Structure 1
């Protein structure tokens, strides 16, 4: 990110974390059944 916009990077990290969290929740639910 050379144009100096850290909020874009933060947005990307948040999206990735959210995605991973959903996947983990899904797998955890699958394991309990």
Structure 2
């Protein structure tokens, strides 16, 4: 159970990082 929760947190962190990178790239395209 604990390791599954850790995997979920890791995936959420990775997804957040990817989303932030995409947003930054998109903002640079608009600039």
- TM tier, smaller: 0.7 to 0.9
Tell which structure's C-alpha radius of gyration is larger: 1
How large is the RMSD of aligned CA atoms in angstroms?
0.7
Which of the pair is proportionally richer in helix?
A: 2
TM score, norm. by length of structure 2: 0.78
Divergent runs of 4+, >4 A: none
* Structure with more relative contact order (C-alpha pairs < 8 Å, separation 6 or more): 1
Structure 1 residues without counterparts, runs of 5 or longer? none
TM-score (norm 1): 0.75
